[in-house]
Amino acid sequence: MRTRGRLSMGPAGLKYLALIALVLVLAVAAFSVGCGDEETPTTTAAPETTAPVASSTTTAAPVESSTTTAPAETTTTEMAKQELILASTTSTQDSGLFDVLIPAFNELFPFYEVKVIAVGSGEAMKMGETGDADVLLVHSPAAEKTFMENGFGVERKAVMYNDFIIVGPEDDPAKIKGMTSAAEALTAIANAKALYFNRGDKSGTDAKEQTIWKAANLTPSGDWYQVTGQGMGETLTIADQAGGYTLADRATYLSKKDSLALALLVEGDTALFNQYHVITCAKGTNFIGASNFLGWITAANVQANIIGTFGAEKFDQPLFVPNAGQVE
């Protein structure tokens, strides 16, 4: 008999209800977790979507700034320049010619950084042989021909000329002033054992001097004949300070004349002719730049307007005479 209004069940029924309640709790928990998983991507998606936008906006300003900033563009241009090694003579350097030539070359070819190495012609050609120079501007014709014959040079062209002179102290102890033969002048210096300074650096000037001693049938030696091992400007200074004689190119002498007491004593001998050539080097690393320089320095406008006028205003005569295209 059941009691009215009250549910009565045994132990088994109670266990069944407990099981149903547990299932319902687990279902609710599973539903809550599922909803949380759906919300998690939504929560994290916003930062991921927003971050790249903010990042690109942050970096945009510096990009625009560098684009409009002149110094940054200049630095990039300078870094992109190609190095062009020009090995030349100390006499050309000491004359000041490169102070005019290189800026003019860079006006037309701004992408080359020209590095001038001023040594004797012999040393300049050694640099060409080893690939340490791209182009040469030298004045030692016999050695240049050997350089070309041995395959170290690709193209060689005349550029300009001037002449050598013999200078010495005003009192001229060897009495060579006014002589028209360079060989006779050196003979007189040797006979007087007057102090004489030779460069001894295998330069074009040194090579020219040796040909004159050979023409005089003399091999100079003794305390009176001293070797400086220096360039033209330094050798002139040493000779000046010691009161000795030396052979010099006219351009370097004139460019330093105001600081020297040395007098010009011998000039005009055809044996003192001084020819310069430009040579592109076979082993150079910037052959295109070397070819551009050769073509530029032998061009008619450069010959006439730069080389042909250099020094004329200051010395009342050009220091070099252009002669590109002339056959040796």
| Least confident range of 65-79, 114-128, 157-171, 221-235 | 65-79
Q: What is the pLDDT of residue 79?
A: 56
CATH code: domain of residue 221: 3.40.190.10
Total domains in the chain come to 2
Over residues 14-39, mean pLDDT: 42
Q: What is the pLDDT of residue 80?
A: 79
Q: What is the pLDDT of residue 325?
A: 84
Q: What is the pLDDT of residue 256?
A: 94
Q: Tell me the residue range of the domain where 295 lies.
A: 79-161+275-322
Residues 252 and 121 in one domain: no
pLDDT for residue 106 is more than 50? yes
Residues 84 and 131 in one domain: yes
pLDDT for residue 318 is more than 80? yes
Mean pLDDT of the chain: 83
Three state DSSP letters for the chain = CCCCCCCCCCHHHHHHHHHHHHHHHHHHHHHHHHHHHHHHHHHHHHHHHHHHHHHHHHHHHHHHHHHHCHHHHHHHHHHCCEEEEEEEEHHHHHHCCHHHHHHHHHHHCCCEEEEEEEECHHHHHHHHHHCCCCEEEECCHHHHHHHHHCCCEEEEEEEEEEEEEEEECCCCCCCCCCCCCHHHHHHHHHHHCCCEEECCCCCHHHHHHHHHHHHCCCCCCCCCEEECCCCHHHHHHHHHHHCCEEEEEHHHHHHHHHHCCCEEEECCCHHHEEEEEEEEECCCCCHHHHHHHHHHHCCHHHHHHHHCCCCHHHHCCCCCEECCCCCC
307 lies in some domain: yes
249-259 pLDDT per residue, tens? 999 999 999 99
Residues 225 and 137 in one domain: no
83 lies in some domain: yes
Residues 119 and 145 in one domain: yes
168 lies in some domain: yes
19 lies in some domain: no
